[in-house]
Amino acid sequence: MLPAYLPNPIAALVGGGTPIDLGRNFSDGKRVFGDGKTFRGLIIGIFAGIGIGIIQIWVTGAYGWENLPEQTFMSITLLATGALLGDLCKSFFKRRLGKERGAKWPIADMYDLVAGALLLVLIVDPGWLFANITLMIFILILIITPILHRAVNIIGYRFRVKEVPW
């Protein structure tokens, strides 16, 4: 899941610039995504996820770590892209519910990247998903994700990358 876990914090770290929604409002009069979702963050975040995935592929081949999922260029691209698309979808619905940027939405904030990543892989490459994400791995993802989410957000807050620690 590293290709899915890395893009969001990297996008937050390097984001800024032109918002993906170009400052436009949806038909309800609220911003589509908000200022926190930028083209720079999206693109660099996806490339960071692909980069860590390429490192995983190399490490698996170079050191024979056969217990890692067999990543492919397709799987790492889908995981990285899906993670940020999941985050964008969550932001869209956050705006519809009247939640401001940085407002808490606990379950959605933790699992948006997992849902987006796995859904995109399911749609485009279901064979890889079912061959590599077993029920036990899926349960581990559900357990590890909130722990990682909280830890990364606290670190981001302490380094002033994030405005809130959640």
In-domain check, residue 97? yes
In-domain check, residue 72? yes
- Report helix angle 39-63 to 7-14, nearest 10: 140
Which phi and psi (to 5°) does residue 38 adopt? -120, 160
User: What pLDDT does residue 93 have?
Assistant: 95
Instruction: Name residue 142's amino acid.
Output: L
pLDDT in tens, 4-44: 999 999 998 998 899 999 999 999 999 999 999 999 999 99
Domain that holds residue 72: 2-158
In-domain check, residue 164? no
In-domain check, residue 152? yes
In-domain check, residue 165? no
Domain count, the chain: 1
In-domain check, residue 88? yes
In-domain check, residue 122? yes
Instruction: Name residue 166's amino acid.
Output: W
Record the pTM.
Answer: 0.90
Q: How confident is the model at residue 62 (pLDDT cuts 50, 70, 90)?
A: confident
